[in-house]
Amino acid sequence: MKFTLSWLKQHLETTASMDEIVYALTDLGLEVERVEDRSVKLADFIIGKIISATKHPDADRLKVCQVDTDEGNRQIICGAPNAREGITVVVAKPGVYVPGIDTTIGVGKIRGIESFGMMASEREVELSEEHDGIIELPSGEVGDRFIDWLVENDSSKVDPIIEIAITPNRPDALGVRGIARDLAARGIGKLKHASTPSLEGGFPCPVSVSIDEDTLEYCPVFFGRLIRGVKNGPSPKWLQDRLRSIGLRPISFLVDVTNYFTYDNNRPLHVFDADKLAGNNLRVSRAKGGETLVGLDEKEYKFAQNMTLISDVNGVESIGGIMGGLRSSCTEETVNVFVEAAYFDPIRTAYTGRALKINSDARYRFERGIDPSFTPIGLDLACEMIMEHAGGEVSSRVQAGTIPSSTRAYRLNAARVQSLVGMEIPESEQRQTLTALGFRLDGDMAYVPSWRPDIMGEADLVEEVARVASLTKLVGKPLPRVISGVPKPVMTPMQRRQQLARRRAASLGYNECVTYSFIDQGAAVLFGGGIDTTKLENPISSDMSHMRPALLPGLLQAAARNQARGFMDLAMFEVGPAFHGSEPGEEHLLVSGLLVGRTGPKDVHGASRLVDIFDVKSDAEDILAAIGAPAKTQVFRGASEYWHPGRHGMICLGPKKVLAVYGELHPRILEEMGVQGPVMAFTLWLEKVPSPRQTGPNRGAFTVSDLQAVERDFAFVVDAEVEALTLVSAANSADKTLIEDVRVFDEFLGESLGEGKKSLAITVRLQPRAATLKDTDIEAVAQKVIEKVNKATGGVLRG
Amino acid sequence: MDDLKEKYLPRIADALDEAALEDIRLAAVGKKGEVALKMRELGQMDPTERQIKGPILNALKNEILSAIAAKKAGLADTALDARLRSEWLDVTLPTRTRRRGTIHPLSQVTEEVTAIFAEMGFSVAEGPRIETDWYNFDALNIPSHHPARAEMDTFYLNRAASDDRPPHVLRTHTSPVQIRSMESTGAPTRIICPGGVYRADYDQTHTPMFHQVEGLAIDKDISMANLKWVLEEFVKSYFEVDDVDLRFRASHFPFTEPSAEVDIRCSWENGNLKVGEGDDWLEILGSGMVHPKVLQAGGINPEEWQGFAFGMGIDRIAMLKYGIPDLRAFFDSDLRWLRHYGFEALDVPTLHSGLSR
């Protein structure tokens, strides 16, 4: 919402400075977004008079002028063709900043002659684009400030413009009068009396109006008057200036009047060229669906059922509360005008406007709620203004429907301001504030003014009082603790788990990323998503059309971007939600990481190597350990198709409960996503890890044996596809109390073993509990290990 | 005797290695060495002579043995010195590289915020990112025709033609968590709800996903003055300054009444923010007293309970505190950015050790 200072002063009697007004507006909740005040830039320019102008001895186009100023006679060199003796000019003395040329004037020599200032053109002081000569003022005293002369003689040029943001609850502030009322309540001046129209119709209105019974809820009241014999044309200068200053283009007087009332009083109006209306009735009705109208914006609109339309015999002429039609609009030639003032329902207007995608000043106001009681008054004021400038004769007022009642009252509980806001404001001041805002107080009941649809309860009264008193006066008051003493932990176990997983992954050398929750359909499909349920209805681009089914596609895209920047060795991870459906809660928490390239740049120690699956396996195991996952897990194959079929494993608790997957990603996926592989990756399902049993912080007794542990190595020849874990489990089962650990320390594939065979070497650590082991004991366990391994894998001891 | 001494001591001194020393030892004080032979002669001497010669011979033996021991140690030192001289390394060579991981600023700042509010008794609540329009709008006093709905640039989920429920939305703010939390815990309550939110907007200063933290405190007598204190304490603690000047400005949010925008006094120096001084005001959050209709929607009786709510952008306060210029870069995963703005894995922000290093 934009307005100028002089416009505001039309409604508000005030001596407050711009700074005071701007501060008060923002503080009242009418946040000032921008102020354009020319007077600040022009403050230092003064009026002078050229006493003499002679040709510069060394330059044909320059003149040496003697200029009378507030500091006496000054010599100024000037190149303007109109610089001559006797004219009144605008002078910038040395030290003055000239905005139009972005220069601060200094004392200088021009072609050998000293110059003590400058005489300005309109462009140089940014009043217009005029630069053919310096400004010649028709009046003005030497030494006066130019800005004061402008205020006196051409005020619209220096009228400060204020732009404020209006929150949806304040339709009344979409008119300058509403803004003035707020300021007056704050004590910034006095609200001027509103003019009351006294219009007598000279003849019956030839156009009647009607509202269909079923449309009264959408348009409860509709007023109109016809003015015949008007002379349309350009608006008077003051009106044009006013509209221009707030960024509106003057069109013709009749149209400008409607715009003026829209901004002055938050009262949208519509003017029909009465000669273009067919029949003698305007009917307000619900659209049946399928009707069309070419609007004032020259676009054709097609209506859906229940939109509010205004029609004549020809059909639709206007969209109620939103936009008029082109066919019956006023032009320069209009002589008979029908002026409409109606009240349209906010909700209906919002739905219709949204469906038709029309953003008009009228829609903006009707959907927020205008003052219904002002409807006939606004109509009459507009008609008066039309006749004052364009002449004509006005008809009587026609009316359909009745003004909807907005009468309601709430109890003013003066103590509520103290208990809800925490500010102490005397009751008398509270009542004074409400009265100034237009409330009528009857005992302790406050009757809401018809222009405040947002006031719907006691809390709103408190808000008004506190807002006008200024929330800056609020003094903070400690919020006591709920329980005294040391605060309790506040994170849930799952939040703690996320934090641990995140910090563990970072400590393993991964950089944490946060990527968008939506990705393109192609990538989503590759990772098991991309279905219609997880599609966004209105994505901002096709790159972000589907909720991500996993974190890996986002990380892969990030990897591709980094590779494109020349970074080939990557370790990245993300902790966050992925989506398996579109109902609330159909999301699950993942940790995914990926490794690409080498473990580091090539180095003098030869330690750099390509990353491999055992890097991500170890990282996944570390993170699982960090969040307290059980140490005993199984590894299965058969995860999603985006993994390399032979190079991935699922870390599981039983065949169905997958805690994590690690492995190499499928080369085809990488190709489709434009990533240079191979890529090693892992994903952990944070919520699948079982919560540790509640045992408290106690770690259990520390029991160690003083007896010497014994280690024995075995090498088995097995079929190449036998998995190490099977062999280790078999060896472990040989003696559950004695065997403390089984570790694979070598894998060997060689022709000497025979086709399709390999050798796996393990170390078995035996920890005696009761007595030192004798050779026979060790031999017995060793024999058991060999049997168990043979039974489980068919492996035999390597000869 | 002196001849023996003069014979062996120089030899010991000149010995080149341990083997030569051993030979000398055998020749001098070994069982058949010259000194031993002389000692054997003692038995044939008369007691008087023996009493004189005995100690002299013993002294000679000791002198030779200690000379050998000293020489031995000297030789070992020399050998060690020589070995160490050959073991010189260029210690300026670089190490084996080890990757250094980082924590994203959003995670770090979320933990900072959590630490501060935990101290004031707020626990952390969470909710789904896909929401029903009831939780995201209606329950927060934003009915379907409300202009605020259109202004929020909401993302809608696809709805199957056979499903006539209103479409679900990606939550446009963390406020629906307020409602869910009120429903599950009732009053009194103190929570913060950090998390990702979504709006269909993308330009210099907007991304379609960003992060908010919502605060909610409900009790019998909580007022806006308490809200101001909580926010003052938060801003001081978060920006790690001793004093802060907060300005409450009347505003409007459908879910609070009265509502206030909150500005902090600050100054800007070369693009760096200084909180608590200067003449600029920076808007950092929106807040207010929870609207009675919102309490009702959460199943709390507004006649009995009241409280405040506030919401601020985590991305935004991260940018302000750490001088991060561009919001879009948060989600671009540029390795250089992650390394520059990221945090150490073990740098967990706490109030006792300080939030930032």
Sort out which chain B residues have CB atoms less than 8 A from A351's CB and list them. 145
Sort out which chain A residues have CB atoms less than 8 A from B249's CB and list them. 26-27, 29, 31, 471-472
Short-list A528, A538, A553, A797, CA closest to A672: A553
Name which residue leads in pLDDT, A775 or A592: A592
User: Dmax over Cα atoms in chain B, in whole Å?
Assistant: 134
- Pure H helices in A43-171: 146-153
Q: Where are the domains of chain A?
A: 2-37+160-191, 40-158, 208-401, 409-470, 493-688, 710-797
ipTM score of the complex?
0.88
One-letter identity of residue A132: D
Q: Which residues of B48-61 are buried (b: 16+ CB within 10 A; e: fewer)?
A: eeeeebeeebeebb
CATH class of A409-470: alpha beta
Q: Selecting from 3.30.300.30, 3.90.1150.10, 3.30.930.10, 3.50.50.60, what CATH number does the domain B105-341 have?
A: 3.30.930.10
- CB spacing of B120 vs A479 below 8 angstroms: yes
- CB spacing of A168 vs B208 below 8 angstroms: no
Task: Provide the β-strand partners of residue A741.
Answer: A765
Angle between helices A18-28 and A176-186 (to 10 degrees): 90
So what's the pLDDT on residue A694? 66
Model pLDDT for residues A564-578, shown as the tens digit of each residue: 999 999 999 999 999
Whether A558 and A578 have beta carbons less than 8 Å apart is answered as: no
- The alpha carbon of residue A180 and the mean position of all alpha carbons in its chain are separated, in whole angstroms, by 29
Residues 6+ apart with CB under 8 A from B334: A561, A562, A565
So what's the pLDDT on residue A635? 92
So what's the pLDDT on residue B5? 82
Name which residue leads in pLDDT, A711 or A195: A711
Q: Which of residues 13-32 of B touch A (CB under 8 A)?
A: none
Q: Which of residues 344-363 of A touch B (CB under 8 A)?
A: 346-347, 350-351, 354
The β-bridge relationship of strands B123-124 and B189-198 is parallel
- Give the predicted TM-score (pTM) of the model: 0.85
Q: Nearest CA to CA, how far is A467 from chain B (Å)?
A: 6
Whether B155 and B169 have beta carbons less than 8 Å apart is answered as: yes
So what's the pLDDT on residue A198? 86
Q: Which of residues 229-288 of B touch A (CB under 8 A)?
A: 229-232, 246-252, 254, 257-261
pLDDT above 80: residue A532: yes
Residue B214, chain A, CB below 8 Å: the answer is no
Q: Selecting from 1.20.120.530, 3.90.1150.10, 2.40.50.140, 3.40.50.2300, what CATH number does the domain A40-158 have?
A: 2.40.50.140
**Separation between Cα atoms, residue A182 and residue A170, nearest integer Å:** 11
- CB spacing of B102 vs A346 below 8 angstroms: no
Query: For every one of its 357 residues, what pLDDT tens digit does chain B have, with 9 covering 90 and above?
Result: 678 888 888 888 888 888 888 998 888 888 888 888 888 888 888 888 888 888 888 888 888 889 889 999 999 999 899 999 999 999 999 988 889 999 999 999 999 999 999 999 999 999 999 999 999 999 999 988 787 777 778 999 998 888 888 899 999 999 999 999 999 999 899 999 999 999 998 988 899 999 999 999 999 999 999 999 999 999 999 999 998 899 999 999 999 999 999 999 988 887 788 888 888 888 999 999 999 999 999 999 999 999 999 999 999 999 999 989 899 999 999 999 999 999 999 999 999 988 887
- For domain A2-37+160-191, give the fold: Phenylalanyl-tRNA Synthetase; Chain B, domain 1 (3.30.56)
- CB spacing of A516 vs B221 below 8 angstroms: no
Domain A493-688 has CATH 3.30.930.10: yes
- CB spacing of B101 vs A512 below 8 angstroms: yes
Mean pLDDT of A705-710: 89
pLDDT above 80: residue A693: no
- CB spacing of B225 vs A474 below 8 angstroms: yes
Whether A262 and A268 have beta carbons less than 8 Å apart is answered as: yes
**Separation between Cα atoms, residue A159 and residue A151, nearest integer Å:** 8
Residues 6+ apart with CB under 8 A from A148: none
Short-list A767, A649, A642, CA closest to A703: A767
Whether A550 and A683 have beta carbons less than 8 Å apart is answered as: yes
The β-bridge relationship of strands A270-273 and A336-343 is antiparallel
Whether the link from the prior residue into B258 is cis, omega within 30° of 0, is yes
- For domain A208-401, give the fold: Phenylalanyl-tRNA Synthetase; Chain B, domain 3 (3.50.40)
Residues 6+ apart with CB under 8 A from B66: none
Backbone angles phi, psi at A57, to 5 degrees: -60, -30
Model pLDDT for residues A305-330, shown as the tens digit of each residue: 999 999 999 999 999 999 999 999 99
Sort out which chain A residues have CB atoms less than 8 A from B121's CB and list them. 481-483, 487
Place of tokens 């600029």: B280
- Sign of dihedral through CA atoms B142, B167, B127, B343? negative
- CB spacing of A31 vs B160 below 8 angstroms: no
Residue A486, chain B, CB below 8 Å: the answer is no
> Do the two domains A2-37+160-191 and A409-470 of this chain adopt the same fold?
yes
Residues 6+ apart with CB under 8 A from A461: A410, A412, A416, A434, A446, A455
So what's the pLDDT on residue B1? 65
pLDDT above 70: residue A478: yes
Place of tokens 């003032």: A341
Mean pLDDT of A94-118: 89
Residue A491, chain B, CB below 8 Å: the answer is yes
CA-to-CA separations, A344 to A300, A308, A453, A635, in angstroms, rounded: 22, 9, 13, 68
Structurally, at CATH architecture level, domain A710-797 sits in 2-Layer Sandwich (3.30)
Residue B225, chain A, CB below 8 Å: the answer is yes
pLDDT above 90: residue A42: no
Place of tokens 């909740």: A29
- CB spacing of A28 vs B250 below 8 angstroms: yes
Mean pLDDT of A642-663: 94
Mean pLDDT of A635-644: 93
pLDDT above 70: residue A655: yes
Residue B135, chain A, CB below 8 Å: the answer is yes
- CB spacing of B342 vs A489 below 8 angstroms: no
Instruction: Please tell me which of A36-45, A47-56, B29-38 the model is most confident about, judged by mean pLDDT.
Output: A47-56
So what's the pLDDT on residue A163? 95
Average pLDDT, chain A: 92
Task: Provide the β-strand partners of residue A14.
Answer: none
The β-bridge relationship of strands A281-286 and A208-211 is parallel
**Separation between Cα atoms, residue A613 and residue A595, nearest integer Å:** 9
Percent of chain A with pLDDT over 90: 74
